[in-house]
Amino acid sequence: MSVAENIADVRERITAAARRAGRDPGEITLMAVSKTFAVEHIREAYADGLRVFGENRVQEFIGKAAALRNLRDAEWHMIGHLQSNKAAAAAELFTAIDSLDSLRLAEKLNASAEKLGKKLGVLIEINVGGETAKSGLAPDSGDLEDLLMAAPGLDHLELRGLMTIPPFTEDAQEARPYFRQLRALRDQIAAQRLPAVRVDVLSMGMSHDFEIAIEEGSTCVRVGTAIFGPRKGS
């Protein structure tokens, strides 16, 4: 199947999942995760109407960004772990950082965004499964609380919501409790009405489990393989 056919298929499945859950499909963003894929593939997805792209490595995206500069209304989101020493480069390259996982990184991104005179969208990554190999803040951690409390001082960041990657399971249904947990955390944070903290966005769901994530309230699904095909070497 072509990228265009894959996108049509994913869109249909998003719509069906939203309807099952009594939701408006229009409130769900389809992010094309283009990591490892060449700019031609990204252009193809853009031609099919996609505008939000996810990349997970600063170095890789540096190599692609110049060739994509003319796609002016596209959004480029960093979705992989970001080391503090790459914060300045990331702040310049990306529209948004969807994998914010520490106050220290937030402060670096804020300072870089200020120098660039831009506002960076951010999502806080939550490690719902408590896996040691994964980045993200623990849902009940003081670190998360510290980051939320610091939001008003980070005035070049725009905190928009939460992101998670649940533990991988063959049966996508097993991801459901983790998606539910992220949504409950979002509701709990929203109820606190903290200054400069908005948590409207719930970025959850990938190729194998995005329908379940939508049933559980996802507003952004991050889809790579189901759009572009298998990645080499993974």
Residues near ligand PLP, by CB under 6 A: 33, 35, 56, 79-80, 165, 206-207, 222-226
195 vs 206, beta carbon nearer ligand PLP:
206
Radius of gyration of the chain (CA): 17
Instruction: Give the start-end residues of each E strand in the chain.
Output: 29-33, 52-55, 75-78, 96-100, 120-126, 157-164, 201-203, 220-223
CB contact at 8 A, 74 and 54: no
115 vs 231, beta carbon nearer ligand PLP:
231
Phi, psi of 165 (to 5 degrees): -125, 105
Q: Residue 80 CB, nearest distance to ligand PLP (Å)?
A: 6
Give the up-direction half-sphere exposure of residue 230: CA atoms within 13 A in the CB hemisphere: 3
Distance CA(227)–CA(208), nearest Å, equals: 12
Q: Residue 100 CB, nearest distance to ligand PLP (Å)?
A: 13
Give the up-direction half-sphere exposure of residue 4: CA atoms within 13 A in the CB hemisphere: 4
Q: Residue 233 CB, nearest distance to ligand PLP (Å)?
A: 12
30 vs 74, beta carbon nearer ligand PLP:
30
Q: Residue 47 CB, nearest distance to ligand PLP (Å)?
A: 20
CA-to-CA dists, residue 126 to 25, 30, 54, 133, 192, angstroms: 24, 20, 17, 13, 18
148 vs 223, beta carbon nearer ligand PLP:
223
150 vs 169, beta carbon nearer ligand PLP:
169
28 vs 223, beta carbon nearer ligand PLP:
223
CA-to-CA dists, residue 171 to 12, 164, 165, 174, angstroms: 21, 18, 15, 6
Q: Residue 223 CB, nearest distance to ligand PLP (Å)?
A: 5
Distance CA(186)–CA(202), nearest Å, equals: 8
Q: Residue 36 CB, nearest distance to ligand PLP (Å)?
A: 8
Residue whose Cβ sits closest to ligand PLP: 224
